[in-house]
Structure 1
Amino acid sequence: MNHICTWLCADEKGEESDFPQSGMKSSSQNHQNIYWRCLIVFFISSTRFNKEEKHLLFTNVKTLPIVDGQPVSDIMHDLGVDVIHIDFKYKTPKGYFGSFQNQFFEFSILEYIAQNRHEPTDLYLIADSDCVFIRPAKRLFHAAEPNGFISFEIDSPVDHQINGLSRLDMQVLFAEMLGKEVEEIPSYHLGEFLLSSNSHIKKLYADFLELWPVLLERHEKGLKKLNEEAHTLSFLYFKNGWKAAKQNLFMKRIWTNPVFYRNVDPSDLKLTLWHLPAEKTFGIARLYDYLLFRLDEYGKNISDRSFFGLVRKTTGIPRLRTSRKIGYYSISYYKAIAKRIRKYAGAQ
């Protein structure tokens, strides 16, 4: 059985971390509603194209909220999504790293799968909620089947820091943590995407349990450490000799800001999955509005071709309008958020 999953980990008051794009406290409902809207779009798009796959939502929220007058639990039921409530067990201490601390929630997800799912060949695609499917994921799952694993890397300059570490930094750090020389410069794997078999996830989680106290100890001593889940997954993949796919024909971290950074290409139209980190409050929000309030049955009444056209229209991919407004927003509005998302880009 193939599974498609996303997650939402809500920060509690006093445990907030920095999310540059929202500009709000991460414990606030307004901030969290941005992610509820994203995951609703995620599942609407996935269930449209992936009817044979099982869909799972992992969250530490015990009671799903009402967003824009719509009970999220009802939407998940309508879409056939199983909601799995789990605790956030692997919280980094204060001062560990300022941004996106709840990314380590992914290892609570891996724990649940490792301990509760029993078919070793079952495949799990775990993606960030600000992703949109534009076609079926069958080819992607098929590509992962031979090895029980597939991952993709960011081909960044070796000295370019992403969330506090460059790939050169990772080479030195990996050597220290493994206790041996690392001759090759490691890959930085896309943290927003994980596709592994149950057996691989068991291995990842077992290795993470050994790694976790090491990370906490290095933090206490003020040493360099793995700051976020992509660093951590990259280390675990490297330790196990799991390589990134040589070609990425399936998914991409697409930056869409026309002022600060834009890596959109016409070839993106051939992908399976778009990760749109700069579109949470722009294109994905507009797409959410169409699917929830302007179309019937979450857009099921329109053709796949029309749906694809709607996604392109709302996100401005591959081309933006040439007027002063981009979608519903002005150029000046994009400029206002450019500074806030600069440190998260990591793709230049």
Structure 2
Amino acid sequence: MNPVPETTSAGRDACGAHPDSSLLFATAFYHAAGRSPNAWTFSEQSKLAMYYRCMVVCYASIRRLYPQAQLALFTNRELSEPYSGQLRSLGVSTVICADRYVGDRTFRNGFPGCLYTLDVIEHLALHPRSDFSSLILIDSDCIFRYRLGGMPDNLASGCEACYAYAPGYPVGMVVNGQSRATLTLALRYFSGQMAASPIQLYGGEFYGLAATSLPKLAARIEAFWAWMKTQGAATFGDSLTEEHVMSVVLAQTGDTVHSANGLIKRIWTASAFSTVDGSEAGLPVWHLPAEKKKGFAKLYRYWLRHDGFAGLSDEGFRALVDQFIPLRAGGREYPGRTALLRLRGAARFLVTGRA
């Protein structure tokens, strides 16, 4: 895969005409009690520190590629120090956002705060800003390795375009209580719209949205949410996440949704489950949910010791990421884990007489 263009002297994407200052990169993070879905920690404090380290690394990777872009963290309370100050040093503004969707107890889900992206979209629709034309909503466990090419310019061109990432779930696969099949049927019942094929179930880690599209998007989210609460839950149950809502709402926009699969990939790196296939090197964004405790922690420590990533060339930064997060087909190798698995196998043999 050929990487997208990186930088021009004008501080714009090489194939477009909109300045980086018109871009808003944002993360939605809701402070909620409970376990992290992908990384076990000993305490609430260590869980938050893990997420905060990811934020610093993620925003630092964006800042080195987009020096003039706007960076924002939407959250329900301020971060603790030193992380709050570290984000400020990167030019990240913290926006305290209401939690109407998160606080609605009608629906259940296994991820505390997973609906917060809906609250952020509503916040931006209710408090319109004129200082950005393109919004890139990302998860904090993402690393930007290249610029996004012409995507921001496509968003800012005046059309109500959207980019979203689809992990490629099979039609009948149930993900957090819903599948592409049930969501396609929900779209039919809700809007009367008969999809020509099963709708996509988007992953939620990456949305590219035109600023002009946010009011209409927020209204559609509210309409589907209200329908699910009053009518849909009887048929489709009470399991609902941001990904489910956004997948149905974006399906209503038809051809204005563009695939972000050439820009980002959800990369599982654990030896027990790996999605590494060798195609990742040229992707602009890596989403690394299994690296919160290890890879991101190493990059954060490097960032502290070297006063940021600014001293690295583009190639040097990617080499650093490759060093700390080596992608291997079949997952990362952890000698200690291998030894423990062998010990468990030996114990099973001694107890049961079977390997």
**TM value normalised by structure 2:** 0.80
- Structure 2 distance, partners of 1:334, 1:45, is 36
Alignment match, 2:75:
59
Pair 33,93 (structure 1): closer, same or farther in 2 beyond 3 Å: same
Alignment match, 1:287:
299
CA apart distance, 1:230: 0.9
Equivalent residue letter for 2:296: I
Aligned match for 1:169, one of 182, 206, 211: 182
- Structure 2 distance, partners of 1:330, 1:139, is 43
1:88 aligns with 2:105: no
Alignment match, 2:208:
195
Structure 2: which 5+ runs fail to align? 1-21, 343-355
Provide, for residues 232-258 of structure 1, a one-character-per-residue CA deviation record: whole Å limited to 9, x for no partner: 111111122255435732111111112
1:20 aligns with 2:37: yes
1:76 aligns with 2:87: yes
What fraction of aligned residue pairs are identical, expressed as a percent? Answer: 24
- Structure 2 distance, partners of 1:186, 1:275, is 23
Equivalent residue letter for 2:25: I
Alignment match, 2:117:
106
Pair 118,21 (structure 1): closer, same or farther in 2 beyond 3 Å: closer
- Structure 2 distance, partners of 1:20, 1:241, is 32
Equivalent residue letter for 2:57: V
Q: Secondary structure of the equivalent of 1:269?
A: coil
Equivalent residue letter for 1:90: Y
1:316 aligns with 2:326: yes
Alignment match, 1:300:
310
**TM value normalised by structure 1:** 0.82
Alignment match, 1:346:
none
- Structure 2 distance, partners of 1:162, 1:7, is 21
Alignment match, 1:32:
48
- Structure 1 distance, partners of 2:65, 2:152, is 13
- Structure 1 distance, partners of 2:241, 2:315, is 37
8 A Cα contact 2:162 2:256, kept in partner? no
- Structure 2 distance, partners of 1:322, 1:38, is 19
Aligned match for 2:191, one of 166, 170, 178: 178
Alignment match, 2:349:
none
CA apart distance, 1:29: 2.4
8 A Cα contact 1:144 1:195, kept in partner? yes
Q: Secondary structure of the equivalent of 1:161?
A: coil
Q: Secondary structure of the equivalent of 1:90?
A: helix
8 A Cα contact 1:60 1:86, kept in partner? yes
Alignment match, 1:10:
31
Provide, for residues 173-196 of structure 1, a one-character-per-residue CA deviation record: whole Å limited to 9, x for no partner: 222222454442111122111111
- Structure 1 distance, partners of 2:229, 2:242, is 14
> Root-mean-square deviation (CA), in Å?
2.9
CA apart distance, 1:219: 7.7
Provide, for residues 40-81 of structure 1, a one-character-per-residue CA deviation record: whole Å limited to 9, x for no partner: 1111111011112111111111x3202xxxx12211221111
Q: Secondary structure of the equivalent of 2:286?
A: strand
CA apart distance, 1:306: 1.8
Alignment match, 1:339:
none
8 A Cα contact 1:324 1:331, kept in partner? yes
Provide, for residues 95-120 of structure 1, a one-character-per-residue CA deviation record: whole Å limited to 9, x for no partner: 83231141211122112221223449
Structure 1: which 5+ runs fail to align? 336-348
- Structure 1 distance, partners of 2:209, 2:140, is 18
Pair 197,204 (structure 1): closer, same or farther in 2 beyond 3 Å: same
Alignment match, 1:343:
none
Pair 257,83 (structure 1): closer, same or farther in 2 beyond 3 Å: same
Pair 93,321 (structure 1): closer, same or farther in 2 beyond 3 Å: closer
